[in-house]
Amino acid sequence: MAIRYGIAMTRAPESGVPLGRIETPRLVYAVIGVCTAAGAFLRFYQLARPGYLLGLTEYDDSVNFGNALRLVSGVIPYRDFVAVQPPGTTVLMAPVALLAKGTGVAWGLAVARILTAAADTACVALLGLLVRHRGPVAAGIACGIYAVYPDALIAAHTFMLEPWLNLFCLLGALAVFDGDRLADSTRRLAWGGAAFGFAVAVKLWAVVPLAVVGLLLLRRPRRLGLLAAGAAAGLAVPVLPFLAAAPTGLIKDVVVTQYLRADAHHQPSLPRLTDLAGLSLFPHLSSRATAVIVLAIAALAAAGYLAACWAGARRPAPLDAYALIGVVAVVAMLLWPYDYWPHYGAVAGPFIALVLALPAGLLRPAEHRRQLVPLLAVSAAAALLIASVGERQFAAESQLQASISMTVAARADQLIPPGACVVTDYSSLTISADRFFPAAADCPVMVDSYGTLLATTGGRKSGQDLRADTALWRSQFAVASYVWLEWDNEGRIAWTPALHTYFTSHFRLLGLVNGPGARDAPEGGLYVRR
């Protein structure tokens, strides 16, 4: 056994390849700490921007938190209302939702946002811990890339699913991998599987990294069985109670609706790849320039692995295989959906960080002096790139402002009496104004208007398929005292001339107009029953 960089090196019996064992020097932990602090600063600085803690900045966050608010009120997702995501974060945020009954739902969502920023900050540290056996340069690159990765910061600005998915996947990877190789410990494999399983309960996309680990264990059936058993347990704990309460609803909402969406205008791949490459901070780049940069990043990662493995006279280890297969699989997954939003790209962030960081850890100048210059060059280039992206990210965050300010919420608090039955296509509105909970038992409990549209139309959103959604809104308008619409509500409500006529004859505009009306829909604002 030889000690280099404070890392004990052993040889894998089956391949003779040096594999890192974790005897990490303090320098590595110092690097991880600095990068984690930088990541925390960027994430919590976002929440300090005007309206970002208590205002309206997203659609999905209110849906995710609204599901937990309904649950603690005795209203069951999938049975009593549509919820198109698995129940993992609903279970996680149930205690916060209970707290919100005392503090108000706006402050409850603020706590959920703070916890999400903290979870994403933890991902920075977990990436460093995952590669710490490869030295301070690898740890710094992995942590630094994720700390400033634009899509990760977009997902962390409020209560989104991707930071929690990454958190549990990285916890699973940290348990499953012992340095470079897969762990022999049955306990670690089972707990790692449980973490991956819970990540699937947060969002189905976590199946991909779990499947990559399973692929690496194919030749070891017993260890694969332990991983699978842990994953099944981690998935079953949050899902089984809801599956027992509403088996048809859960499968239809989460699986069928999500994967039967149809859209004639699939977004081209280049903008998605541009976003995944972190180039969203450089909007003035031409399409040709972005394509060249994307190809250069891919070529650089491949060349880095080849060069580092050749210089160290070794084959890629299982951790390398996890990173390489994972980044290809996750990017392919993100190119497949009919639609794409920047926070989706956060799922690729850990794999991109690993692929770019791990080759640097194969350079060992203490063993081969000719590797010192390449290692210093890689370190300097990575530090410069990470610092420049971080500076640009900070400048972009300095310009942030919530889409609807707190003055709107304060005005709504005056216009809508507490406990009133308010129907909305945008739950963020009623949450920000603390008017989410009605006093009347017969008030509609819909949280996700867009998800409901998908569920009632089988994901097709066109033609005669819209009749069920139209009928649902007609029944909701019939019992509502107030209706609060976002200005672009035509994409979430199946308006028809008859429904429009009914609405305008029964409701009048009270105030809070927030945009122009859609082609066949009332303009956005707060309406009261005539």
CA dist 84 and 256 (Å) reads 9
Q: pLDDT class for 125, splitting at 50, 70, 90?
A: very high
Does the structure show a pLDDT above 70 at 97?
A: yes
The answer to the question of residue 232 being in a domain is: yes
Q: pLDDT class for 2, splitting at 50, 70, 90?
A: very low
**Can you give the three-state secondary structure of 84-105, one letter per residue?**
CCCCHHHHHCHHHHHHHHHHCH
What's the confidence (pLDDT) of residue 464? 55
* Mean pLDDT in residue range 29-37: 96
* Mean pLDDT in residue range 398-412: 77
- Per the structure, how many domains does the chain have? 2
**Based on the domain organization, do 292 and 389 belong to the same domain?**
yes
What's the confidence (pLDDT) of residue 264? 42
Stronger pLDDT, 323 or 365, i.e. the higher one: 323
**Based on the domain organization, do 374 and 478 belong to the same domain?**
no
The answer to the question of residue 7 being in a domain is: no
What's the confidence (pLDDT) of residue 315? 74
**Based on the domain organization, do 160 and 272 belong to the same domain?**
yes
**pLDDT single digits (tens) 493-514:** 989 999 999 999 999 999 877 7
Burial of 462 (0-12, 13-18, 19+ CB in 10 A): exposed
CA dist 251 and 244 (Å) reads 11
The one-letter code for the residue type at 318 is: P
Does the structure show a pLDDT above 50 at 8?
A: no
What's the confidence (pLDDT) of residue 261? 62
Q: Do 277 and 297 form a contact (C-beta atoms < 8 A)?
A: yes
**Based on the domain organization, do 518 and 465 belong to the same domain?**
yes
The answer to the question of residue 84 being in a domain is: no
What's the confidence (pLDDT) of residue 145? 96
Q: What is the pTM of this model?
A: 0.90
What's the confidence (pLDDT) of residue 162? 97
* Mean pLDDT in residue range 23-50: 92
* Mean pLDDT in residue range 209-227: 95
Does the structure show a pLDDT above 80 at 105?
A: yes
The answer to the question of residue 70 being in a domain is: no
**Based on the domain organization, do 375 and 482 belong to the same domain?**
no
**Based on the domain organization, do 359 and 435 belong to the same domain?**
no
CA distances from 255 to 247, 248, 319 (A): 12, 10, 31
The one-letter code for the residue type at 314 is: R
What's the confidence (pLDDT) of residue 116? 98
Burial of 490 (0-12, 13-18, 19+ CB in 10 A): middle
Q: Which of 338, 369, 397 is the C-terminal boundary of a domain?
A: 397
The answer to the question of residue 211 being in a domain is: yes
* Mean pLDDT in residue range 330-354: 90
**pLDDT single digits (tens) 139-189:** 999 999 999 999 999 999 999 999 999 999 999 999 999 999 999 999 999
**Based on the domain organization, do 234 and 377 belong to the same domain?**
yes
The answer to which of 113-117, 243-247, 520-524 has the lowest mean pLDDT is 520-524
**pLDDT single digits (tens) 233-289:** 999 999 999 999 999 999 999 988 877 664 445 666 778 888 888 887 777 777 677
Q: Residue 410: which domain range?
A: 406-529
Arithmetic mean of pLDDT over the chain: 86
Does the structure show a pLDDT above 80 at 404?
A: no
* E strand residue ranges, 187-249: none
**Based on the domain organization, do 131 and 271 belong to the same domain?**
yes
The proportion of the chain whose per-residue pLDDT surpasses 70, expressed as a percent, equals: 87
How many whole angstroms from its chain centre is CA 61?
A: 11
* Mean pLDDT in residue range 329-341: 86
What's the confidence (pLDDT) of residue 313? 57
Q: pLDDT class for 405, splitting at 50, 70, 90?
A: low
**Based on the domain organization, do 472 and 366 belong to the same domain?**
no
What's the confidence (pLDDT) of residue 262? 45
The answer to the question of residue 443 being in a domain is: yes
**Based on the domain organization, do 521 and 491 belong to the same domain?**
yes
Q: pLDDT class for 302, splitting at 50, 70, 90?
A: confident
What's the confidence (pLDDT) of residue 401? 80
What's the confidence (pLDDT) of residue 516? 65
Q: How far apart are the first and last CA of the chain?
A: 83
**pLDDT single digits (tens) 454-495:** 888 876 655 557 888 999 999 999 999 999 998 888 778 989
**Based on the domain organization, do 222 and 303 belong to the same domain?**
yes
